[in-house]
Each structure stands twice: as C-alpha cells, then as structure tokens.
A and B are shown apart, each in its own frame.
Chain A
C-alpha cells in the first residue's frame, strides 16, 4: 500500500459511484489551502509508511522478547518500554500498524460500498424494493456486529480466519449502518426539484441515481465511514482479544491493548503506546474526511 493509494481512496469516496463531480484540480486547489488537510496527510503518510516499511521506523525485532526485561518502563534502549513478555513496545506498535490499518480500511471500504448500493437503491425506488431491502437490513441489524462476527469466525473459520476472515466477518455485519443512513439521505434527496427536473429531461433511473442522487446524498455516509475506520480497528482488537481474530503471529494494536489492560495501573506504558498509535491514526483519517467534505461539497464552500 502506498501513500498515493490511501489518499486517492479517501478522495474517491464521495464520487466513487459516479463520474467525477468536480474537476479534481479544483478540489485539490481548495484542499491545498487548508492547514488541517496537511496535518491529516502527514499523519496518514506516517502510518502508511509505517505499515508498508516498518523497518524505516525501528530496527528492533518485535519478536525479540526476553522475560528478564518484562514490563520495563521507557528508557534509552526501549523508547516506549517493554511488555510483559519483555518485547519492545515501540517496535511492536510499529509492526502492528499494518494489520490494524489494513483491516480498518478494508472493512470501511467494503461496508461503504455495500451500504451505499443497498441504501440508495432502497431509498430511490421505494415500494416493494425498499420493503425487501429494509427487511434484509433489519435482519442483519438485529444481530449485534461483534456477536455476529464472533460467531461467524468461531464456526466458519474455526477461530482462525486470519486478516481476510476478520475483514469478511466485520463487513458482513457492519454495512447496515451506512445502508440505513444512505437510504434516509436518498429518500430526502429523491423528492428534490432537481431530481424531478432530471426525470423531466428524460434521464433514466440508473443515471439519475448515479449522477444526481448519490453524489448529493452521500455526504453523511462519508462522515460516518471515516469515523468507522477507527471503529473497525477497535472491533478487530476486540475480536482478536477473544482469540477469534488475529492470532499471535499477526500483530495488531488491539491485541497489544488487550494484552496490557490488566497491568494498566502498574505499567501504563504498555497500553498507552498502542492506544496512542491508534488514536493518531484515527485522527489523521478523521481530519482528512473533514477536509475532503468541505472541499468537495460546493454548498459549504466560500
């Protein structure tokens, strides 16, 4: 994964289903003027680099553990101290970036696509289509995300689904929220004059949906999807903690947090380090989402 890839993924989000809404150059022009955008880009670049080439940030082997230095506080050799196994917390946090980011982003993209598709079709066509899709949404909504994903991983994947297993399980139960928001937003947009005008000018339903409805209805979904990146990272952590997601061979922040929870009062550094990494990563994505929304939505532009 490269920097360009990540940035373009976020940039493509509001326009992905249809053609480019605004000239990319003008969006770029407006983004460039925002300091927060640069903060976001810096953070994201940092974490993407960390995920792609962890050796740039640390030369310590995260698997080089020595019980004789268990739970040592931050010092010159181990900048963020060591955990209960005596492994370097900083090195482990850096190496955990890859799995956490990959899962958070993949699940977000998957739930975004499913949610936008199902929600906009249900909201736009209404009637029987809406009734059927809404019932499907409700069926999935009735199963709590974590419980559903846990059960699925425990049964189908026999407790070891790996990264792909976690992505599938979380996506399968995580798309309902975006679908519901998209449906509500679509229904609101559907009745607006310019949609009626588009119909009066002879545009077909798929065209109206893709070009007129979705680009106008998608903003709230983008905001939710951005916050979801962080949410899904924490869900992955929870599942991993339960022993059903990532196994010890794959490092993740969530695993590290959960491993150190019970010793938080005596050795807070082992928890605060991965928690800090997680928070900064989520902050970066959130800021980018905000800046993108302001730049793409002409109504909020001055």
Chain B
C-alpha cells in the first residue's frame, strides 16, 4: 500500500516510529463476527488499512458499517463472546497483537494505543473525580504515587486547555460541560503519550462550534507528539481539515481509500459519491436534499455480490454476483493515483462521472 506524501514527511521528521517506512499499525484482512441467537452477524469482512506515525486516517461510514468494531478489535475491548475475530492480523510495529498474551496486550492499551470515546459523560466514571481518573493512567502504568499522579493530572488538564485546572481537578465529570468533558477524554488518551490514538466519533456528541475546537486541539496535539491517529466518524465535514487519508467503509468492508483532497474532488465509488452529494450545500438552497435511497444492509444477511448493489444507481448484474475487490484507481491513461482504491466494478465510470 502506498504512502501519502504527507506521511513520508511525518516519518522522516523523526516521529515515534523506529523505522521511517514501516507503518505503526497495520490491519490485514480482518474479519469479525458476532454470534447471536438469530445467526452470525458479519460486522467486519476483510478490512485492511494502515497508519503511520504522525498520520491521520479517517474511517468513514454509516452506523453498522463496522468502523467501531474494527477499532474495538484493535484495542482488544471487543466482547468475546459474542464477538469473534475469525480471520486476519492486527500488526502493531510489525507484531501481531492477536497472538499476544492478555497481559502483553493490556500493557499496550493506554500506553501505546489509546482511545477516545464518543460520549465523554458515559465514558468517564461518575463516582471518581476527573483528576483521579486522569491520575489513574500514571498509577496503573507507571506506578506513580497519588501526589505525583495528581500533579500530572493538573498538567494534562492545562495541556488540553481546561481553564482553572488546579481548582477543577477534584470535580466530577457531570460538573463539566460537554466540550470540557471531551477535552478530559483527550487528556486521558494523551496521558502516556501513546504512539497511536483511536478516536471513535470524538465530536459527534458535541455542538458544532465546540466540535471545531476539539478537532483543532486533537490535530494540534497529534502534530506535537507525532502520533498516529485513527479518526472514526460519519461526518465528512469533520474529516476534511484533519485527515491525511480516508477509508470509506460499508457493510464491514472498505469500499474506497484515498488521500483526503482527492476523495472530495473525484470519488471513485458510488457510495462515496452518494455521501458527498448528501451534504447540504448553500448553493443548492431550495432544492431537495439528496439522500442515498434504501437502508444499510442487515449484517445477518449481507446481499450477495457488492453489498451496496441494492442501493446503487449504477448496479448491473455483475454487481449482484461478484464481490468487487479493492481496485487500484488510476487515470484513464493509466497514470497511478497514489493511495487510491475503489471496491467497485465501475470505478472508472464513477471517477469520471
């Protein structure tokens, strides 16, 4: 898989990577299923992506597209059972985490890979003060004393620009506003300066003005620490400013990958195209808003062929029969477009439409 130019820059600047070429995290052909009473729900069906130090990968998709499940599998917080990783590898610095012992993985969690959750209010323990929870990171992983942990918690709160950190360190999560709580979540993830942060819809629960601030903060801190960032979102607007590359997911598969600017200009998959067209635009005021017709597929019964075929305006017989592989996307004359791929039989037609 080819790297983006920006990625190359980041790694050559030093970053946290040991070697400038190997990605920090590689997910290879990951399959996750959930065994339920009604059958096997195939939540992730062969996801492959990678992130390097200093790079931001945005994983885009609707609810149920498998973007969060993939993240949970990486973190090792998937509920198993009912969940099951039936196939695939998750390589962190070249080592398969799925083959590690529970204790080894626990040491990676929080220290090397951290996660930011969507709803900070429910992801923070209501009976513990935020200072205690921030400090817990240092006590668990570094054996810091209570006093040291508290001092570091205050420092972290300052870092994510929570006003009056010293006075607020003993406050409880419900005493903070939504934006401040999300900052605390970010501070927790940052605490041990991990190599990789997975942010699962970090701004979805926030209002728009706060969203921008939180994303800005996240991008800034990522740049400062040269961390890899996987940004899981369903919001194309959030992605544009922050991400380096995008992976669009549908029904547990990656349907399109591209550097961030390219995908907005020239999507190569009808689903991506549909998503972009359903963004409300000022210049189309008064017109009906475009929506992709139909519903995301039931994961218990994913349609044969391309999973998107029942909703796709371009669907032909071949789409109902054959699962399209992720084709490398090129110009008509065969010029390679680095980092681009589309899992559509008609990617050429879509690209130029």
Contact = CB atoms under 8 A, between A and B. Distances in A.
Looking at B75, B108, B115, B125, the one whose CB has the most chain A CB atoms below 10 A away is B125
A198 interface: yes
Contacts of A202: 106-111, 140-141
Contact of A198 (B125, B129, B170): B125
A206 to B, nearest CB: 11
A10 interface: no
Nearest to A207: B140
B137 interface: yes
A198 B122 CA distance: 12
B114 A192 contact: no
A194 B119 CA distance: 10
B211 to A, nearest CB: 20
A215 B107 CA distance: 24
A197 B136 contact: no
A297 B127 CA distance: 7
B43 interface: no
B174 interface: yes
Nearest to B118: A193
A275 to B, nearest CB: 38
A201 B110 contact: yes
Contact of B127 (A196, A198, A203, A215): A215
B208 interface: no
A22 B172 CA distance: 10
Nearest to A218: B127
B122 A193 contact: yes
A21 interface: yes
A199 B77 contact: yes
A216 B137 contact: no
B303 to A, nearest CB: 31
Contact of A197 (B123, B172, B174): B123
Interface string A246-263: 000000000000000000
Contacts of B136: 201, 203, 211
Contact of B174 (A23, A193, A298): A298
A21 B127 contact: yes
Contacts of A216: 125-127
A196 B110 contact: no
Contacts of A299: 126, 174
A201 B117 contact: no
Interface in A193-236: 193-194, 196-204, 207, 211-212, 215-216
Interface residues of A, number: 23
A191 B114 CA distance: 19
Contacts of A197: 115, 117, 123-124, 188
B106 to A, nearest CB: 5
B126 A200 contact: no
A208 to B, nearest CB: 10
A192 B121 CA distance: 11
Nearest to A215: B127
B128 interface: yes
A283 B127 CA distance: 27
A216 B126 CA distance: 8
A252 to B, nearest CB: 38
Contact of B188 (A193, A201, A207, A297): A201
Contacts of A23: 170
A200 B140 contact: no
A190 to B, nearest CB: 10
A200 B122 CA distance: 14
B253 to A, nearest CB: 25
Contacts of A203: 110, 136, 140
Contacts of B124: 194, 197
Given A193-B122, A197-B117, A299-B126, 7 more contacts: A192-B122, A201-B110, A202-B106, A203-B140, A207-B140, A215-B127, A216-B127
Interface of B: 75, 77, 106-111, 114-115, 117, 119, 122-129, 136-137, 140-141, 170, 172, 174, 188
28 contacts: A21-B127, A22-B129, A23-B170, A193-B119, A194-B124, A196-B117, A196-B123, A197-B115, A197-B123, A197-B124, A199-B77, A199-B109, A200-B75, A200-B77, A200-B114, A200-B115, A201-B136, A201-B188, A202-B106, A202-B107, A202-B110, A202-B140, A203-B110, A204-B140, A211-B136, A216-B125, A298-B126, A298-B127
Give 8 closest A-B pairs by Cβ, nearest first. A202-B110, A202-B109, A201-B110, A193-B122, A193-B123, A197-B123, A200-B115, A194-B125
